[in-house]
Structure 1
Amino acid sequence: MRKLALAALVAAAIWVPQGLAFASSTIIMVTHSPPSDTYWVSVIKGLEQAGKDLDLSVQYRGVENNLNDPNQQRRNLEAAIAAKPDGIIVSDPTPSSLNATIKKASDAGIPVILVNQGGDQVANVGALAFVGDDPGTQGQMGAAQFNSFGSRKALIITAPPGALPFLDARTNGFKKAFKGTSTLAEIPLSDFNNANRIKSITESELQKDGSIDAVFSIGGCCITAMMQVRSDLGERARDIHWGTIDMTASAIRSLKSGELDFALDAQQYAQGYYPVVMLDLYVRQAIRPAEARLITGPVVITPSNVNHIEATGR
């Protein structure tokens, strides 16, 4: 019934007279992650459902390994521009590498929505808007959770400072808001897809400092490895609080088992769905988003409310 109600709502909001629908419109999403990544699986579900609801052709084009090769994302974006779609949705995790190409799309008259990363780059690339969340806020909300637990020493599983702007924002947001002290488990970007390497670096930092009572993963890349570390710690793990940014299948399992204290849900299904609606309205009715940013999250998910998330199938 909820799906039927949503479909009816969308239909009512975007109805146009018969003969004026753009059923052949094509929208391409280009991101920094492979379609197999558990975070982006939910984004793609939203993208595809919006395509079905609005009778549009939608395509997802990701890279082979998450975040490892901005050049591959740029090449995928260039190919998308050459295809001359009716709209492009693109993530912008590395503005220095991607902005010039994104602007080529908007300069060519292809409407662009930034998604997931790049919330501060809308004007720079001529995009209509950004759909996603604010990385600094994500870090601050994570810190607030640990503050509520009374944690005093946090280990942040993240990339080395300067590796990626949005990860720096998450890390700095956490450090700014956390009432205790913090240290970093620095994961090179080349190891973001290597759970064994993430686990080894994290365990090494925990062994160095027995006072650590909070561990915070900066993104979906590291959740599985972090939970493996928790398992290996045995009794000590019970004296540590565990939290993460991003909802993934691993995070849901760990929340249900009570091993993970919280996860910050970016509500990424909406990151796939809303940009399609925005582009469709712009193409058909020249309706521009009134605000430069549409924030989808984060919201805090805990063992007490995770079952509702799982029940949605997203």
Structure 2
Amino acid sequence: MRREAVTGEKFDQASVLKPINKTLKFVFVGKLVHPWYDVVDEGIVAAIADMKKLGINIEYKWDSPATADINEHVKKIEANISARPDGLAIACLDPATDTQVINDACDAGLHVITFDTDAPESKRVSYIGHDSFHSDGIMHADLLAKLIGYKGKVGILSGSLGAPNHVAWVKGFKEGISKYKDITIAFERPDNDDLQLALDLTESALQAHPDVKGIFCCNASNPIGAARAVKNAGKAGKIKLTGMALMPETMAFIKEGVIDATLEQRQWEEGYWGVMYLVALNSNHTIPDKHPIPATWITKETLMK
């Protein structure tokens, strides 16, 4: 069947795009000041360099609270609403609390995206980051169960109690470990994404539970803190450790055999695409509601390849 030619005036879709005739200013607000975001920053710098080649100039800054304090986190976001940047990227510390201030930013006409952790009920335009936290926890449970021979006591360093990814990782781990009737959870301690606190908590936990056989760590700090404590106790390789992210010290502990495995989230992509999407929004492009970024298992074997 022959299609009839369409006659009449054609709508030029490109006409809705806006030229960028100024230096764009973006702000990134992490959950806290943490070296995990250094890799995000590398992605930001790469994206800015790519945009510069196209004639688009970008200035950016980080404005994160010193610690995982939700009140300080909200204050940082509020201050940047008043500053009115051309783009605001937020790693949510507590979605229930962050949602209102994110909505305030959107209602003020700012381009707002989230990364690392989302506030899905907010008015943010897009989320960039890993989004299978619960299933990650289940996989960690299966791996740790295997590493300890499917029986014995394990512990959990649970990170920040309001951080949605930490909560989902722990929930998934508990669900997964419940399948193994000969495994019990000896302790669960929140470390607030603080390396020194994770070290201290692990040391006290090992004293209280000297027969613990494995520890699940759910952020970038606590695998390092736990590994230091385990190594200091002379139990490297005897107590199995799994965790999240791949910091330089984490990598060293994996090569040494103190940490058995981590899930690396490829956060470089979060920084890169965060910049790209904020530029797109300033040009009146559409962007996806969610940009999922997969995680990759890192073990001693994968590092040696």
The 5 A counterparts of 1:74-113 are: 74-113=74-113
Q: Paired residues, what number? A: 276
Counterpart in the other structure of 1:59: 61
Contact 1:38 1:249 in 2 (8 A): no
The 5 A counterparts of 1:181-220 are: 181-187=184-190, 189=192, 192-193=193-194, 195=196, 197-220=197-220
TM-score by length of 2: 0.82
Displacement of 1:186 in angstroms is 1.0
Contact 2:93 2:162 in 1 (8 A): no
Contact 1:77 1:101 in 2 (8 A): yes
Distance in structure 2 (CA, Å) of the matches to 1:103 and 1:238 = 47
Is the radius of gyration larger for structure 1 or structure 2?
2
Which amino acid is the alignment partner of residue 138 of structure 1? Answer: D
Percent of aligned positions that are identical: 21
Counterpart in the other structure of 2:4: none
Distance in structure 1 (CA, Å) of the matches to 2:81 and 2:190 = 33
The 5 A counterparts of 1:265-276 are: 265-276=264-275
The 5 A counterparts of 1:18-29 are: 20-22=19-21, 24-29=23-28
Distance in structure 1 (CA, Å) of the matches to 2:286 and 2:194 = 40
CA 1:148–1:295: 2 relative to 1, 3 Å: farther
Which amino acid is the alignment partner of residue 299 of structure 1? Answer: T
| Alignment gaps of 5+ in structure 2 | 1-17, 53-57
How big is the alpha-carbon RMSD for the aligned residues of Structure 1 and Structure 2?
A: 2.3
Contact 2:237 2:257 in 1 (8 A): no
Counterpart in the other structure of 2:7: none
Distance in structure 2 (CA, Å) of the matches to 1:219 and 1:188 = 9
Distance in structure 2 (CA, Å) of the matches to 1:262 and 1:233 = 20
Which amino acid is the alignment partner of residue 109 of structure 1? Answer: G
Displacement of 1:210 in angstroms is 4.3
Q: Which contiguous aligned blocks of 4+ residues in structure 1 show a shift greater than 6 angstroms? A: none
In the alignment, structure 1 residue 304 sits paired with structure 2 residue 296: no
Counterpart in the other structure of 1:129: 126
Secondary structure at the counterpart of residue 297 of structure 1: coil
Which amino acid is the alignment partner of residue 140 of structure 1? Answer: I
The 5 A counterparts of 1:1-314 are: 20-22=19-21, 24-34=23-33, 37-55=34-52, 56-65=58-67, 67=68, 69-118=69-118, 121-122=119-120, 124-134=121-131, 135-149=133-147, 150-152=149-151, 153-159=153-159, 162-178=161-177, 179=180, 180-187=183-190, 189=192, 192-193=193-194, 195=196, 197-234=197-234, 236-289=235-288, 292-306=289-303
CA 1:256–1:173: 2 relative to 1, 3 Å: same
CA 1:159–1:46: 2 relative to 1, 3 Å: closer
Contact 1:103 1:125 in 2 (8 A): yes
| Alignment gaps of 5+ in structure 1 | 1-18, 309-314
- Name the stretch that deviates more: 131-140 or 84-93: 131-140
Q: Could you give the per-residue CA deviations for residues 132-175 of structure 1, whole angstroms, max 9, x where no partner exists?
A: 12332332232232234334332111248x55443221111111
CA 1:141–1:22: 2 relative to 1, 3 Å: farther
Which amino acid is the alignment partner of residue 286 of structure 1? Answer: H
Q: Could you give the per-residue CA deviations for residues 86-123 of structure 1, whole angstroms, max 9, x where no partner exists?
A: 211101121233221111111122121111112xx33x
TM-score by length of 1: 0.80
Displacement of 1:254 in angstroms is 0.9
Contact 1:199 1:229 in 2 (8 A): yes
Distance in structure 2 (CA, Å) of the matches to 1:116 and 1:294 = 11
Which structure shows the higher helix fraction? 1
